[in-house]
Amino acid sequence: MLPLCVSVGFAQSNLTTPRSAHAATLLNTGKVLVTGGVDENGQTLASAELYDPSNKTSTPTASMTMAREHHTSTLLADGTVLIAGGDQARTALNTAEIYNPVTGKFTATSQMRRPHTKFTATLLKNGEVLIVGGPVAELWDPKLAKFVGTTTEPNAARKDQAAVLLQNGTVLITGGYVANVAQATAEIYSPGPGSFTLLSSQMTIPRVLHAVTLLSNGDVVVTGGFSGTSPHDQVDLYEHAGQKFIAAGHMVFHRASHRQVLTSSGDVLIMGGTTLEGGILSADELYNPSTKQSSTVGSMTENRAGHTATLLPSGSTYVAGGITGGETLQSAEVINPNNSSFTPVGDMNHARALHTDTLLKNGTVLVTGGGDNAVVVATAEVFNPGTNSFSEVGSMTDARQSHTASLLQSGLVLVAGGKGAAHNDIASAELYKPATQAFQVTNSMNDARSLDTATVLPSGEVVIIGGRHQSTELKTAELFNPSTDIFTLARGEMLKKRKRHAATLLNTAPDILVAGGDILENGQGGAGGRSTNECELYNSATQQFAAVGKMHLTRGDDASILLNDGTVLVTGGNKNPGPQDLYDPKTKTFTAVGDLKQARLRHRMVLLSSAWGPLAGKVLVIGGSTQGSGIFGGLFQALASVEIYDPSTQQFSDFGNMTEARWGHTATQLSDGRILIAGGTAGVTVTGTAEEVAP
């Protein structure tokens, strides 16, 4: 069964040469051999390259003996690869060659009985390779190292058909053009007698340039393709037991020249292809054979048709090349549907938004306060990752939302400030003790404040910066000393008063980057003009603030996060999806990086830990809100979308959707890499739901 919502992780790479109409084969070494095709100048290619999933790079290998496109590439039982047919300058080829991974070289072998292009090659269980295309079929016999004829010829001279090896060792061949007319017919090749049998059952529609996938139960999913001028969205299921086709639902998109693979969950991942009105898709989808339903799972970094898709041992899929519009692509990417599902966990005991989340040293998560529409709450609860459930703990002494919560080195949690029960900003603070699951009042801050930031320094002190005191933004900062439990005002003030800003602890002094925020009171500025692109640095040694370079966009309710290389990514906080900003502490400058897929503010960001394998070091950008149109009175609209930032490419790509739209939510990475997403405002109501996404 599909999860309520699915997302897909993407990791970008590049081919050494732009290619489409090429071939790709997974070798026994785990590398992917990519051969031939046509480049952006229309030149047929002889070059080949190897993609190594371990370091995500492609390197050239020896060239083929002939340039070819629309050829086939088949891994043989001995680990070598048979390269056969194709065309060169629109002339079909009857040549073939063998690639040896040990030597990295191609060697010409015996010729086929006739030229073949846009045909199929299927490895049989006996080690032979069945070639089907046009009026003649043939077999590559590895013992004789030559091509031989089949006992009978196919029932139709097909081109651009699809073929798949069935579990009983026979081959199902579907559709294709016969005399330039798309076919709904299918036939079975039986290796024993070496003969073809036309099936009495036909597909529900004629198809060419479609895709087929064998399921674990022996049935075959058939999707998309052309029969006239426009691609189809219909899905057929071939039931092997009765040798018949049945209608099996629809894809989300009409597609032809797309690719698909079977995922470890049993679903079919469908990627790219051409669609209606001559468009080319980047959007992917998952088809569930049990429910016969398909759902979108984000987008590739490129629109692609005529690409290759190779399933890797890790369960990821290596997608390479293809065309988009009139351009031949050099880019490649890895799609990982196994890092994909957002799944609900047990609801919180209270609906809440603008609350806090704190990962405790014992691996549980403390959730405090927040608001339930007009009511600010004092309740708190703890999430247990072992049971995926929430349990209530002692309430805070003060109801609060838009407050801060900081894990101290002692394991206690400092909860400070926020908007109180009377919707007034408060200065009180308290400490949560995990051992007793109770809160204890501590000394108050010097200024009542909400919408501020709290940052724990390596010394153990907590720096509280800015925020709002009633309707006025603050310039002050103060320090909490965990040894004395006392707040003292910092010696210096910010150069600008600000609230709804972002603050990030750096690896080197000055210690904290303060980015963006609202600098004018409510009602001032108008049309989003209250926020700033000016940033400051806080130095814990001097307790002073200093100006630093400006971001490319003004931001308020933005988010920032420290990357593994010491730079800081700052995103969102406005109605503009890009560019986003990357701060380099070494040069104290901001550089523009890629655009968000969706403009957002009040979102959350998480740096993926080593538990995420190839996605480690990338950043998830989760939910938030966007400014609604005038139809909705300019209200904030909650977002369910999630995207991922890749520091190596400095680009954002879609990662799918949460089960529920959220802003004012929390996102906590657990010790095992799972990310807990809880509460927030979903639509116009505050939610008590929670969900997680796992590596």
**pLDDT (mean) for 440-457:** 98
In angstroms, rounded to a whole number, what is the distance separating the alpha carbons of residues 503 and 202?
63
pLDDT given at position 631:
39
Residue type, 458: P
Burial pattern 567-602, b for ≥16 Cβ within 10 A else e, equals bbbbbbbbebbbbbbbbebeeeebeebbebbbbbbb
Residues of the chain with CATH 2.120.10.80: 5-339
Q: What is the pLDDT of residues 33-56, one digit of tens each?
A: 999 999 988 999 999 999 998 888
Cis amide bond preceding 510, omega within 30: yes
> Are 345 and 384 contacting, i.e. CB atoms less than 8 angstroms apart?
no
Average pLDDT along the chain: 91
- The neighbouring-strand residues paired with 691 are 344, 677
SS (H, E, C) 512-524: EEEECCECCCCCC
| Residue partners of 458: CB distance under 8 A and separation at least 6 | none
What SS3 string covers 292-360?
Answer: CEEEEEEECCCCCECCEEEECCCCCEEEECCEECCEECCEEEEEEHHHCEEEEECCCCCCCECCEEEEC
- H helix or E strand, kind and range, residue 488: strand 486-489
Please check the confidence at residue 97 and state whether its pLDDT lies above 50: yes
What are φ and ψ of residue 337, in 5° steps? -75, -10
Confidence of residue 7 (pLDDT cuts 50, 70, 90): very low
Say whether pLDDT at 158 is over 90: yes
Least Cα distance to 518 among 588, 451, 419, 592 occurs for 451
Q: What pTM, to 2 d.p., does this model score?
A: 0.60
Say if residue 579 is preceded by a cis peptide, omega within 30 of 0. Answer: yes
Domain covering 5-339 in this structure, CATH number: 2.120.10.80
Mean pLDDT of 530-552: 96
Cα–Cα distances (Å) from 684 to 100, 538, 635, in that order, read 62, 37, 9
Cβ burial of 652 (10 Å; 0-12, 13-18, 19+) is buried
Residue 3 binned pLDDT confidence (cut-offs 50, 70, 90): very low
Max intra-chain CA distance, the chain: 92
CA distance 77 to 70: 23
DSSP letters, 136-158, are EEEEEETTTTEEEE-SS--SS-B
The C-alpha atoms of residue 649 and residue 593 are separated, in whole angstroms, by 9
Do residues 320 and 669 make contact, with C-beta atoms less than 8 angstroms apart?
A: no
Whole-angstrom CA distances from 13 to 302, 527, 633, 651 are 12, 40, 43, 12
Nearest partner of 284 among 316, 252, 249, 323, judged by Cα: 252
Task: Give me the mean pLDDT over the 599-621 stretch.
Answer: 91
Tens-place pLDDT, residues 242-296:
999 999 999 999 999 999 999 877 889 999 999 998 899 998 999 999 999 998 8
